[in-house]
Amino acid sequence: MQPFPGRIDSKLPHVGTTIFTVMSRLAQEHDAINLSQGFPDFDCAKELRDLFCTAINSGLNQYPPMAGVPVLRERIAEKMQRLYGSHYDPEHEITVVPGATYGIFTAVATFIRPGDEVILFEPAYDSYQPAIETLGGKAVFVALELPDYHVDWRKVQAAITPRTRMLILNTPHNPTATVLCAEDMRMLEAILRGTDIVVVSDEVYEHIVFDGHAHQGVARYPGLAERSFFVSSFGKTYSVTGWKMGYVCAPRELMAEFRKVHQFNAFVACAPVQYAFAEYMQNPAPYLELAAFYQAKRDLFRQGIAASRFTLMPSRGSFFQCVGYDAVSDERDTDLAIRLTREHGIASIPVSVFYNVPRYEKVLRFCFAKSDATLQRGAEILCRI
Ligand code: PMP
Ligand code: GLN
């Protein structure tokens, strides 16, 4: 094809290919153990696969209702009530979407006008800033505080201006594996009281909180729920990241605006998958058991590298483990991640890429949503470095 003859005025001039794609590709090229991109290397439940096939073979293959299949929305409402004591009306306040990333992008597109400011915590999951900037908004960063990546709420308060329209929250947090506690949520509730700020709360790891703690999300806090889009992902909960399916819950007035955008964007999410989830969700065991399942993997991986020269940081939720590497190398994390993949056959994610202006704090992120054998092999390699 001939090159485009005009001028390309990129909306995202500094954006390249996502680090997840880059590192997974490199891992494949070098036949390395891939602890970089966050996805399970094991299959989902057979029952769920069978339900999907049954839905397809039952002819449930045409457009579902725009907001999602009603029975699935009802199940989601029941779950939100049971888990968080929050009431979302399935008719008006729950929308099934093709993935959490889409839900977040659509929420941003619904509210952000050129010049509007959106507060982000950094390191930030990599889709937030491009979503904001594609819409002409401005990302305002509040850095999480080392050594444990906690939030300094005074800095959040100080970041709010008359242009602040939105704040994106993420707990459990990717990439740092920290979680917000009840006190954090109360602080945020107090800071936002009396403002028009909308919260987009990325809670895709809501079921992966460790050490007996309860997940603290916006739905538990009326002062936050009334201004929030709660976003979850079936991909994380049921180990089907490739099915790209999630849902969004928000008060009726916010959701009405969200649906105006959604209906002209994706319009709907895949129908047969929705019927499969509606059936599968009747049994809460798979999501209630998820934290223990991943905690065992976290502990296996941590024990495996305890004797290495890497320093273990806390992993309180999600399926990630961050490590410091002061004793291993003086390289930048971006260089080290590439070298470890090429020379040692183990792929990770450099955390500096999740900062607007990279901070080379010498931290790598490893994903432990992998089979035990893979984690053991990965840990053995790390112990030799
Ligand atoms: N938010 C965070 C924090 C994530 O880690 C991910 C997953 N990879 C997503 C959103 C995207 O979820 P989905 O695949 O459902 O779009
Ligand atoms: N969220 C996953 C991770 O953090 C990857 C998703 C993606 O590849 N975009 O690794």
For residue 89, the CA-to-ligand 1 centroid distance in Å is: 24
Q: Whose CA is nearest to atom 2 of ligand 2?
A: 38
Please state the pTM of the whole predicted model: 0.97
pLDDT band at residue 94 using 50, 70 and 90 as cut-offs: very high
In order, the DSSP letters of 329-373 are --S-HHHHHHHIIIIISEE-EEGGGGSSS-----EEEEE--S-HH
Residue 331: name the closest of 306, 302, 360, 289 by CA: 360
pLDDT of residue 49 exceeding 90, the answer is yes
CA of 59 to the centre of ligand 2 (A): 32
Q: Is the CB of 20 inside a 6 Å radius of any atom of ligand 2?
A: yes
For domain 46-284, which CATH number applies: 3.60.10.10, 3.40.640.10, 3.30.43.10, 3.40.50.300? 3.40.640.10
- Residue 199's H or E segment, with its range, is strand 198-202
* Nearest in space to 243 (alpha carbons), one of 16, 51, 76, 95: 51
Quote the mean pLDDT of the chain: 97
Phi and psi (nearest 5°) for 120?
A: -125, 150
Centre of ligand 2 to C-alpha 7, Å, is: 32
Ligand 1 pocket: which of 101, 205, 245 to mutate (most atoms within 8 A of CB): 101
Give residue 16's pLDDT: 87
* pLDDT tens by residue, 175-221: 999 999 999 999 999 999 999 999 999 999 999 999 999 999 999 99
* Residue linked to tokens 């020269």: 309
CB of 172 closer than 6 A to ligand 2? no
Q: How far is the CA of 241 from the centre of ligand 1 (A)?
A: 8
Q: Is the pLDDT of residue 52 over 90?
A: yes
CATH number of 19-44+288-384: 3.90.1150.10
CB atoms closer than 10 angstroms to residue 260: 11
Query: What DSSP designation does 214 have?
Result: P
Neighbours of 324 (CB within 10 A): 18
Of 131, 159, 134, 349, the residue nearest 231 (C-alpha): 131
| Extents of the domains making up the chain | 19-44+288-384, 46-284
Q: Is the CB of 123 under 6 A from ligand 2?
A: no
How far, in Å, is the centroid of ligand 2 from the Cα of 38? 5
